[in-house]
Amino acid sequence: MKGNFHARFLGGRGRVNRLRLPGSLNEKSQQGVQKIMIRIIMKTPRFALTLVFVFAVIASSGCATRATVKDEPRQSVRFASTEAAQTFYEAYLARYYPPGAGSFTVAIYAPLPYHHRKITTDNVFFNEAVRTTDKNSDGMISEDEASAYAATVHQRSASRK
């Protein structure tokens, strides 16, 4: 009792070993767990860690997007007859708004730091169609010109298939 008095007075058990309870770890077993964790971390392939790092950098990086809109006033056009107007507009709609144009595709794109889009308005397409159709540049589309334009549009759509 003489040698162990100070240990018992301070709450210790003296020279008696500590009680081993389930779930409690002593210093030696804690060091063993730390060594195992270090081995697990060190065995993780560097490629996987690099891949995770690169993904985190890409996900956190910003993307600069720029869009240029090309627009012009719609050109006024006259038609020689209602048949010429109908033929022209049907061909125009078939060329620039083909069936299934409203459908969409699902794609996964890699984020790039810069993206530039060029947006062309309907007026530009219409004016291009009028310039293509009006061969003699008199401002009036005849039935022959409308039929020739329709034939080229249908020929293009047939060659795409």
DSSP symbols for 86-107: HHHHHHHHHHHS-TTTT-----
**pLDDT score at 34:** 73
Q: Is there a contact between 133 and 146 (Cβ–Cβ < 8 Å)?
A: yes
54 and 126 share one domain: no
54 and 69 share one domain: no
57 and 69 share one domain: no
Residue with tokens 């010109």: 145
77 and 140 share one domain: yes
User: Residue 12 falls within a domain, yes or no?
Assistant: no
32 and 53 share one domain: yes
**68 vs 156, higher pLDDT:** 68
140 and 153 share one domain: yes
Please count the other Cβ atoms lying within 10 Å of the Cβ belonging to residue 85: 16
Least confident range from 8-22, 51-65, 68-82, 110-124: namely 8-22
Q: Phi, psi at residue 114, to the nearest 5°? A: -145, 135
Q: Phi, psi at residue 126, to the nearest 5°? A: -65, -45
**pLDDT score at 145:** 93
**pLDDT score at 8:** 54
Quick one: CA torsion of 45, 49, 54, 56, rounded to 10 degrees?
Answer: 150
pTM exceeds 0.85 for this model? no
31 and 77 share one domain: no
120 and 91 share one domain: yes
> pLDDT tens for residues 16-71?
555 555 555 566 666 777 777 666 666 667 666 776 777 776 666 666 778 888 88
Please count the other Cβ atoms lying within 10 Å of the Cβ belonging to residue 134: 20
Q: Phi, psi at residue 157, to the nearest 5°? A: -70, -30
Where in the sequence is the domain holding 79, given as residue range(s)?
Answer: 64-99+108-160
Region 136-155 average pLDDT: 90
Q: Phi, psi at residue 117, to the nearest 5°? A: -115, 140
User: Residue 40 falls within a domain, yes or no?
Assistant: yes
